């Protein structure tokens, strides 16, 4: 039986535009994601895709409803607890890579592990290099972001997101700032991580090719799930 890794129950998200006016972004949404799924969330601009992703990752809190991650309800966690959970269980990848310009590739990938504090410096460096190898950046250990192409920078950002072996990878338009060739390479990397590592991946995207090659596609319109289609069989987590 598939293990549930993420569950959203009766989620409502409102924004206060003024004291008298509130805008509803997500009216009432429930969703379950199982371990090993590769989910693409699509929809028109303003449909609530990024808001939904931030609620999944604990970067934002719902106005009503509950979110469970890995069996733990995160809705009422304080910021200190959420910082720990995000560091240990969630890998974030954004449209812009947000690499630290003064540090090289190995150092950027090492940052989440340094914060986590559970590995020695030697172990951290070895794992950072192993992750860079995994994303085909084995010849760029000492390169700083300014010495890398956009696609290469995004690969380093993906390696960084994997640093603490997260339960889920969350991507917010991860190919949105890349040319078509680099975007395809990044998609193939996500697909490989999902198929070979059993990594759970949830990505918000406008890229139709990316979305149609995911395992499951959820179409969002006005904060509601318009369609939820299984495109291929879920990948089982390796034992």
Q: What per-residue confidence (pLDDT) applies to 1?
A: 58
Give the residue ranges of DSSP H helices in 60-139.
79-89, 105-116, 121-134
26 located within any domain: no
Query: Contact, 94 vs 158, CB < 8 A?
Result: no
For 189, the 3-state DSSP assignment is: helix
pLDDT band with cut points at 50, 70 and 90 for residue 239: very low
83 located within any domain: yes
Output the domain CATH number for residue 203.
3.40.50.300
Average pLDDT over the chain, rounded to an integer: 89
Residues 6+ apart with CB under 8 A from 194: 36, 38, 200, 201, 215, 235
DSSP label at residue 147: G
Q: What per-residue confidence (pLDDT) applies to 234?
A: 55
pLDDT in tens, 175-186: 877 788 888 888
Instruction: Count Cβ neighbours within 10 Å for each residue of 129-154 and write b for 16 or more, e otherwise.
Output: bebbebbebeebbebbbeebebbbbb
The percentage of the chain sitting over the pLDDT mark of 70, rounded to a whole number, equals 96
- When divided into structural domains, the chain yields a total of 1
In the chain, what is the straight-line distance between the N-terminal and C-terminal CA atoms, in Å?
A: 14
Whole domain around residue 103: which residue ranges? 35-63+76-230
130 located within any domain: yes
8 located within any domain: no
7 located within any domain: no
Query: Contact, 166 vs 188, CB < 8 A?
Result: no
The percentage of the chain sitting over the pLDDT mark of 90, rounded to a whole number, equals 56
144 located within any domain: yes
pLDDT in tens, 34-82: 999 999 999 998 889 999 999 999 989 999 999 999 999 999 889 899 9
Give the CA dihedral 10, 16, 19, 21, nearest 10 degrees: -80
81 located within any domain: yes
pLDDT band with cut points at 50, 70 and 90 for residue 236: low
Please provide residue 43's backbone torsions phi and psi, each rounded to the nearest 5 degrees.
Answer: 150, 165
15 located within any domain: no
């Amino acid at each position: 039986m598939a293990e549930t890794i993420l569950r959203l129950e009766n989620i409502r998200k409102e924004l206060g535009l003024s004291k008298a006016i509130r805008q509803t972004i997500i009216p009432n949404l429930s969703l379950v994601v199982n371990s090993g799924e590769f989910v693409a969330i699509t929809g028109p601009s303003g449909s609530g895709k990024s808001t939904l992703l931030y609620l999944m990752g604990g970067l934002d809190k719902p106005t009503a409803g509950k979110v469970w991650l890995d069996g733990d309800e995160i809705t009422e966690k304080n910021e200190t607890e959420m910082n720990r959970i995000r560091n240990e269980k969630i890998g974030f990848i954004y449209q812009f890579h947000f690499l630290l310009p003064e540090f090289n590739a190995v150092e950027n990938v090492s940052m989440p592990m340094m914060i986590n504090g559970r590995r020695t410096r030697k172990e951290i460096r070895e794992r950072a290099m192993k992750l860079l190898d995994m994303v085909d950046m084995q010849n760029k250990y000492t390169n700083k972001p300014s010495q890398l192409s956009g696609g290469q920078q995004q690969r380093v950002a993906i390696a960084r997101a994997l640093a603490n072996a997260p339960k889920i990878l969350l991507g917010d338009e991860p190919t949105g700032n890349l040319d078509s060739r680099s975007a395809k390479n990044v998609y193939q990397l996500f697909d490989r991580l999902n198929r070979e590592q059993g990594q759970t991946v949830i990505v918000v995207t406008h890229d139709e090719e990316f979305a149609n090659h995911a395992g499951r596609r959820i179409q969002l319109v006005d904060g509601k799930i318009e369609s939820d289609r299984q495109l291929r069989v879920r990948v089982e987590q390796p034992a």
